[in-house]
Amino acid sequence: MSDRPLVVIGDALLDRDVEGAVERLSPDAPVPVLDERRTRSRAGGAALAAALAAADGCPVTLVTALAGDDAGVELAELIVRAGVELIDLGLDGATPEKIRLRSDGRALLRLDRGGAAARVGRASAAARAAIGWAPAILVSDYGRGVVAEAGIRAALAERAAAGTPIAWDPHPRGAAPLPGVLLAMPNEREAACFAPGVEGAGLPAVAARAAALRRRWGVRRVCVTRAREGALLDLGAGPPLAVPAPPVTLGDPCGAGDRFAARAAVLLARGASCEEAVVDAVAAASRFVAEGGASAWDGEAPAPPAAADVDRLIAAVRARGGTVVATGGCFDLLHAGHVRTLQGARALGDCLIVCLNGDASVRRLKGPTRPLVPAPERAALLAALGCVDAVVAFEEDTPEALLARLRPDVWAKGGDYAGAPLPEAALLERWGGRAVVLPHHAGHSTTRLIEEAANRAAS
């Protein structure tokens, strides 16, 4: 990726979460009374998208408009604190705020104020230069005037015509994406609003709306985001790409659209295709929701599954008195013997965590020609098995450091270790865990599969 910053253009909002407890109804009306415990402010709108892109390790410049009121000053501080360069066009009026009243992690009410009659200042030379120099651009349009400003729109039109990758997150109150934009990203409700002539529901209707919007706007790709259903990407030719989302049972969807847009824009800035960007963005948005959405985000990069999902899984199992089982290995060319061993390990407890040797670890253990399957693909195959609850990769030669963090109750290894001491056994004993060996399944071996394939190719 170029060291030039991704430029995010759009309307910044100050979001406030008022957290409290509801234990009674008001005596003068049948409404809940929220006893305030704490209030937290965070960047919202285009500012949230910019902060999320910066957390992904991308240099970011945000072109937006802020007022000089207390809310605007606070918002500017939040933007700079997130590591984002700020270009402020100025806002004649009040900074827009969104205030959510929440209890037990759930929203009770949202209050919007400010920004209704505000006027955006003219595009500065710094803003035009940033747009002209950007390797990629994310337009995060909340319909409050930044994207509609004449100088900004002219600079965007010039870059779109030149083929600069532009990802555009539209809003019903905002401007339509410009012709030549690489990727427009309305959500399902917005797509229905933008394409009212396309009737119906479900995937066929979404695909029809995406194609209609691509033609109407003159953009190269349209991706309709569908919340827990994932996303659908119209490619302009052939069938669309349907990207399912990982299941999320709990979580807060606030900010999921910004998480999707920011991740897609970062990937495009790094030279990824629209297909690659959308697949990655769906996964990132799902993780963001599962981890509590914008209200739980602390300005850091969203925690990887090893640090968040797995810890939460272990805590939940132990809270109900369950047994945490772990196993490990390379699992290069997953075969029936692997599956039977994993099924046996899962039967020993209430969840199974697979400690997976990373690619560098496999090369040191198996030789320079291994692994045949890279770690992300091996992890995806393992995670798809019904007996596996989580997969965590490690790059050391042994999983001892990872085991010391996870502290499973049982460490299970395949039967080819039978009769030999397990090197992890002493480690497990430190916290009262136990190492066990599972039955060996003869006739199944990755090495044998590789040799058989080589023999057949040579014959």
pLDDT surpassing 60 at residue 131: yes
Of 351-365, 397-411, 437-451, least confident by mean pLDDT is 437-451
d(CA 214, CA 206): 12
Active site residue 258: yes
Pairing between β-strand 91-92 and β-strand 119-120 as defined by DSSP bridges: antiparallel
pLDDT digits (tens, 9 = 90+) for 295-313: 777 665 444 444 457 888 8
pLDDT surpassing 50 at residue 247: yes
Which domains, ranges and CATH numbers included, belong to the chain? 6-296 (3.40.1190.20), 309-457 (3.40.50.620)
- The helix-helix angle for 46-55 and 256-269 (nearest 10°) equals 50
Residues 6+ positions from 202 with CB-CB distance below 8 Å: none
CB 117 within 8 A of CB 136: no
Residue 201 pLDDT: 82
Q: How confident is the model at residue 423 (pLDDT cuts 50, 70, 90)?
A: confident
Question: What is this structure's pTM?
Answer: 0.68
Site of tokens 């910053």: 5
Residue 186 pLDDT: 96
Residue 302 pLDDT: 45
d(CA 420, CA 15): 59
Catalytic residue among 56, 141, 258, 309: 258
